[in-house]
Structure 1
Amino acid sequence: MAVIMKHSPVDMNQGPQTFTSVPQGQLLHATVNYKFADGTEAAPSAKLSGYKGLTTVLAKSPTISGYTPDQKAVAVAFAPTEKTYTVTYKANPTTPPTTESSASSSTADEATTFTPFKIYGKRALYTYKNATFKKNQRVSHFAQKAKAYAPIFEVVGTAKSTSGNLRYKLTDGTYVTANTDYVGKLYWQGMYQKLYVTNPKGTNAYDGTRFAQATKQKHYRQGTPLTVVKKIQVGQATRYELTNGTYVTGNKQWVSPTKPQLVKQVKVKRTIRLYQDVNGSTSIKRIKPGKTLTVTGWDYSHGRNPRLSGTLRYRVAGGYITANRQFVVAN
């Protein structure tokens, strides 16, 4: 069986797209990872396919507000041994925040000593042009998401609205509420004896606290309990040392001190579908009532779409199913 591959030229002025027929057995693969400087995921990895000798494939780095990639595009070469490329995103330089005199609550000296930190969105929210929020000054809307996919913002200053409400100033100059019902700090700050891996992709342990320079030692799957012996602060980020001497992130999108309710099996109550992907875009088959399925993890649809709230799905053999209790019940 052959795979028909479409290629776009590196320079779009050089000519039209071309197509190549490649036997399935000769198909080669490459991966481009997108990471923040602390080693956490900045965007989903790009999985590319090609054939030996193909070196003109460019993987354009996605745009992430407030950050600049060290490579705008990656020239990918395919080889028998799968190649992995990494693009690192660094926070854009910021200047001390300035606010309207009527909204500011900080002195000039306080502004120059402000230490930036990261937050995540807990509920649906907007960013605004000014610290006094008005509907006609909304800039971006973010839907409520599961914590693993919640929007992340870097705070570079504070301000107050004309009515005295505290706001956070972000790297792009916009403002977001500081209400803790809507936003929270991205990293755990406490010392915990146990952490649990909550991210659908699991998490990695490294031999050092600065993940960009450290070496990955182990991968822990979603749901794995981790025993902690020490908490370490690395700039904005929190790291936790484990009993085996390795370090994991304290990012709330990846781990939690609260033990998750693990569902190991579900029984089908009403006919459901097994889907190839978590978004439910490709149906594989129907599953009739009475069937018992083993659950290996959980995830949420529309994870990386900031404008759509996600729906909980269970990961089972072959794909994903609904977690709706009207259709399945945990055994």
Structure 2
Amino acid sequence: MTRGLSKLMTATFTLILLGGVATPAVAYADSSTDTVAATTKADDKITYHVGAVETPYVLISSTSGIKKTPIVTGWPESLTTEQLNDDDYMTKFIADHPENTVSDSNDVRDAMLGIVANELTASPKESYADFILASSGPAGNGYTAESLAKLSLLNSYVKLWDAYIHVNLSLKLMNREDVIKDYAENAAPELLKLNAPQSIIDAYNPGKYPEETFNDKLAKVYESDYVMLKENQLFSKISDEQFVKLDPAKTINEQLKLWLAPLSNYFTKLPDGSYKVSGLMAGGFQFLNFGTPDPVIPDPTPTPTPAKSQPVTVTYVDDQGKTLAPSKTLTGDLDTTYQSDALNIAGYKLSKTPANATGKFTSAAQTVTYVYTKQGTLQSGSAADTIETNTLAPKGAVVYATKKVGLYKTATFSKKNLKRWYVKKSRTNRPMFVVTGYATSKNGVKRYRVKDVNHHSKTAGKTGYLTTNNAYTTPVYYAAKHKTVTVINPTGVNSYAKKTLTGKKTHYRQGQTLTVKKVVSNKLTTRFVLKNGRYMTANKKLVQAGKVTMPRQIKTKHAINRYSNVNLTKQNRHLKKGTKLAVRGWAYSNANNFSKHDTLRYHVAGGYITANRHLVKTVR
């Protein structure tokens, strides 16, 4: 059974959950069919030059109808290509929208930039699946758009059905006989429609296995896919009682319709001749069905109404992104000219007049940003936990990234100059950089020249340029005294006789709270002096100001697995629902991989378990 599932996963796309775009060659490699690929006449094709992208959304249907659900909250209906490519603008934009709690804002921006970068040349009558097929060259021989789309959604259906079955078993709404019946009546026919090989359909059939195997092995497979699904933002807030209303087959069939709909449904022509891309495409063609019978999928972009002029917002910020004066809003008729003006701001000098200081009103909102530099000498150091907005970390100091950041080849940030992204990580796993110098972008924005000092990572030693915006990078060492600090390093920290951290005295385990007498400097780092006169690191990745609490005991809400490693890849025990466990500590997965996000795990006797609140609950 497990080998059959593994083969099935290998044969299908690696996708964003429940949809998205993947390289079709992955799917072609392990599938077979004797259908013929569709072709499109070259003279029918047009190039969709993208001028704006709608904020990504998904469609969710229920008995109350079909609802567009944004992936992020608080964002405008769309952003222009110019705005998305402007790192300084987007840095401030994301910082100004802290109300977004649904998804990582930088990840959403990346998805929208991906749409901009992958410009399409295709017939308006083609579907997205047609376009992928036509772009694949010889790898697409033997496929139709429909068979390709079905293959790409096969894995999603399997995981959905598994999770759906797990919830029904957990709530005791189904037993083994019900699962066998549901598979025969619903899952098997759907797998057949999605072109799953008969060998997989047979191997996946729960009716072929005795009750003992069902309880010991199949139930774990269902549970594993449920756990994976609950990690996704779309499902993390959906209760099990709601989840049982999900219709896996209709969900996938409706996504299939989106893959096969004409591309013209997803592009709206703008007055300047460019196109605005539907947020449904940016959201990965995701459609979840929670019970609406035979829903009608609406045209993602209805017949365009005449374009209306959108306002131009004029902002005034310093070279760290701090607002220096109230913004202004300019309005006017479509295609008429606007003119913005700089301000005289005491103590600051205009770095450079923005390129769009003068322009025309369009159907998309625009922003003009005037950047200023503080006159006089910058001060290094601060008494606060983080340095002031107009203060740079001194050369030789270590900073770490508190949000997703890019390392660039030059001080002028652009997609072309990007060397790599460092995703947002939990505090103990944040990437660190030593400041080796400074530079200024062509727009007058200050940058750090840095070296990656994450010694256990594959990125160690990389050099480049990093933002100096304190909302994204900040010194890794505390600069001010705090009354108490808590040890957060999973392996604990030591105290020492000297501020050079020599002469080891006492080891403090994770979770211990210590009283601080003062903070002292040691070259470009700092140390906490404890109440007993001993010295301890002031590194924010190892200790945290104040008292940090974690559960002392948890109870499993569902049957889960225990693992010997924090990434939960080496299972060493299966734990039943209702098992109580003492929490010895905590850690986060993917500690040294800055391409992947990390997830909280609890350290218990014998290994690590998930900290997902849907699967475990705090007892005390």
Same fold (TM over 0.5): yes
Pick aligned residue for 1:242 from 485, 507, 530: 530
- 1:207-218 to 2 correspondences below 5 Å: 207-211=497-501, 214-218=502-506
* Corresponding residue number in structure 1 for 2:476: 186
Q: C-alpha distance in 2, partners of 1:310/1:173?
A: 24
Q: Which structure is higher in strand share?
A: 1
Corresponding letter in the other structure for 2:483: Q
Cα deviation for residue 137 of structure 1 reads 1.0
Q: C-alpha distance in 2, partners of 1:287/1:259?
A: 31
- 1:1-331 to 2 correspondences below 5 Å: 115-171=395-451, 174-211=464-501, 214-331=502-619
Corresponding letter in the other structure for 1:175: Y
Q: C-alpha distance in 2, partners of 1:210/1:140?
A: 34
* Corresponding residue number in structure 2 for 1:8: none
Cα deviation for residue 173 of structure 1 reads 5.0
Corresponding letter in the other structure for 1:247: Y
Give RMSD over aligned pairs: 2.3
Q: C-alpha distance in 2, partners of 1:143/1:173?
A: 17
Q: C-alpha distance in 2, partners of 1:272/1:241?
A: 43
Q: Deviations over 1:137-170 (max 9, x none)?
A: 1112212211111110011222232223221111
Q: Deviations over 1:70-121 (max 9, x none)?
A: xxxxxxxxxxxxxxxxxxxxxxxxxxxxxxxx9xx89xx99xxx64211001
Q: C-alpha distance in 2, partners of 1:119/1:263?
A: 30
Size of the alignment, in residue pairs? 224
Corresponding letter in the other structure for 1:237: T
Q: C-alpha distance in 2, partners of 1:230/1:187?
A: 14
Change (3 A) 1:290 1:205: same
Q: C-alpha distance in 2, partners of 1:177/1:132?
A: 10
* Corresponding residue number in structure 1 for 2:356: none
Corresponding letter in the other structure for 1:263: P
Q: Deviations over 1:231-257 (max 9, x none)?
A: 110011110111222110000011111
With normalisation by structure 2, the TM-score equals 0.35
Cα deviation for residue 274 of structure 1 reads 0.4
Q: Deviations over 1:5-37 (max 9, x none)?
A: xxxxxxxxxxxxxxxxxxxxxxxxxxxxxxxxx
Runs of 4+ in 1 over 4 A off after TM superposition: none
Q: C-alpha distance in 1, partners of 2:559/2:438?
A: 52
Corresponding letter in the other structure for 1:156: T
Cα deviation for residue 317 of structure 1 reads 0.5
SS of aligned partner of 1:227: strand
SS of aligned partner of 2:416: helix
Corresponding letter in the other structure for 1:290: G
Retained in 1: the 8 A contact 2:402–2:427? yes
With normalisation by structure 1, the TM-score equals 0.64
* Corresponding residue number in structure 2 for 1:19: none
Q: Mean Cα displacement is larger for which, 161-170 or 221-230?
A: 161-170
SS of aligned partner of 1:232: strand
Q: Deviations over 1:180-230 (max 9, x none)?
A: 22111100111112111011111111110012xx12111100110111112
Corresponding letter in the other structure for 2:441: S
Change (3 A) 1:177 1:115: closer
Q: Which structure is higher in helix share?
A: 2
Corresponding letter in the other structure for 2:468: A
Q: C-alpha distance in 1, partners of 2:574/2:396?
A: 50
Q: C-alpha distance in 1, partners of 2:477/2:423?
A: 21
Corresponding letter in the other structure for 2:542: W
Retained in 1: the 8 A contact 2:483–2:546? no
SS of aligned partner of 1:148: helix
Give the greater-gyration-radius structure (CA): 2
Q: C-alpha distance in 1, partners of 2:401/2:505?
A: 31
Q: C-alpha distance in 2, partners of 1:276/1:173?
A: 35
Q: C-alpha distance in 1, partners of 2:404/2:470?
A: 13
* Corresponding residue number in structure 2 for 1:95: none
SS of aligned partner of 2:480: coil
**Which ranges of structure 1 fall in alignment gaps of 5 or more residues?**
1-101
Corresponding letter in the other structure for 1:118: V
* Corresponding residue number in structure 1 for 2:203: none
Percent pairwise identity:
36
Corresponding letter in the other structure for 2:443: S
Corresponding letter in the other structure for 1:210: T
